Structure 1
Amino acid sequence: MTRFTNMPSTEFEVPVGLDKLLQEFTVAVLRNQPANLNLFARDYFERKCLNENEDEDYRNNNGYSDDESECESPPPEYLSKQSSRRKSVSAERYDPEADDEVEGEGRTVNPKTDEQRLKLNEAVKNILIFKALDSEQLGHVIDAMFIKEITTGDVIITQGEDDADYFYVIQSGTYEAFVNETLVFTYDNTGSFGELALMYNTPRAATIAAATDGLLWALDRNSFRKIVLKTAFLKRKMYEVFLESVPILRSLEGDEALCMYFIESGDVRVMRTVSSTRYVKTR
């Protein structure tokens, strides 16, 4: 940590990595344009904590140690409260930067009626992970999805499975989520589940079973990664370039930013020179 004591009797510590964390969160906000920033922030950091937990589990199982404490895992998507250990890794982590396949090339298309496409579009357009997609990319998601008829008692995913192949969007039916055989959540004719295992290549965090007959739309792992993860990566890179090109941000280059200052008392003069003209502002 960087410690500074620029004010009388006041000491602050800026954690290492805070600047990077805030930059990544800012990019995510710009990319998703959330209507409710507080809810988006909660979801964003819960998912980030989950990813760090799973990485720590992997290190522990492979002889690595880490002195940092684990983040508390979020409840939905029914995150296990126990310290789940990764049994195996059945698929490689997807690296969008290394994927040089042309967008749309070799994509999956499952035929649908106009009515089905309309219903599916309504079901997926407000799902957070699809917020970054434009209309064409969202159309690719809809093209790739296929319908699954579900019967009461069917187990859609099982907690601990490490071969997650599908992400599911509910069209109809009631579905119950169990963690360690305890009911923790019920989906009633709406919602989605299964994206975390595909995004982070982790075992399923809960068991999802059908309480009634219903219909699910399924998106396979490959399509999910090619469309959702790669699009998110490309947009993030675009916003990073954008942030780097903003003049007011570019002017911050120079001295390494090691700390943040809070004005408790007194006046501060801010000076900046642009094209031989000096601008002065006093606060």
Structure 2
Amino acid sequence: MLGNSTAPAPSNANGVDLGCAVATEDRRSDLCAQWKAADAAQASANWTLWTVWLGLFGLCIGFGTLIAAAIAAFWAKRAAEYTKAGAVEAKRSADAAKEANRPWLRMEIEEAGRLHVESDYLSVFCDVSIDNFGNSPALEVWADGILSFDVISLSNAQRELSKFSPRRDHPRSNIFPKAPEATQLIVEFRGEISQSGTLFLMVYCLYRIPGDVEWRYAADIQEIMPGDAATRQYAMDGKQMRFEVSAGVMETRGIAFKRAMGILPAAT
């Protein structure tokens, strides 16, 4: 019965689905539409799944890149720390070698005499020696002195000497190791003269070490008191200190100090 037959869905010779054919019954047409909708939903789900997997893949790549960057930053920091530590160690070694090979000067008042006093003027003539007990020449050495009724201690002497610089017209010399140099100085004081106070005499020298423009200094401080004299001698850059006395009650303490510093042998 040809009038009631249902037409199949059309297709071409290559088997490509051309969609739902017009059906004589609405039920058949609805089933075809649902089938096509299910196929479309399946295709959409597949694309969504692939999108999720691609997103996860990109997230993994980004996370891996972040880890690689963190590892690179960590090792770059460690390399910088090693480089800095190496530079510090090299500088320390260079400084140690420089200190070991530099000159060290010791200045001593051999004799202070011929004290000349007027109403507002005072001068002392003194013989001094400068000895280089280091390992290289001391350059541009020049010596001078100060007289003062104010106390000259190690701390304020260092503070004052750090401000000094040689006068251009002052004679200078180079002093070599184990070749002490003797010189004579006239040290002057102008101002109010105390009749009862202690007079402090400080002779000092400034010098440079090879390869350095900084001025170094050494000094000898002597207290001039009526019937007494005490001498304190310092290498002013803090590496050496000597203490000597030549008067009365201080002499025992001075000898003990010199023995403690290794300047004199221990008592037997």
| TM tier relative to shorter chain | under 0.3
Q: Which has the larger radius of gyration?
A: 2
Higher strand share: 2
TM-score normalised by the chain length of structure 1:
0.19
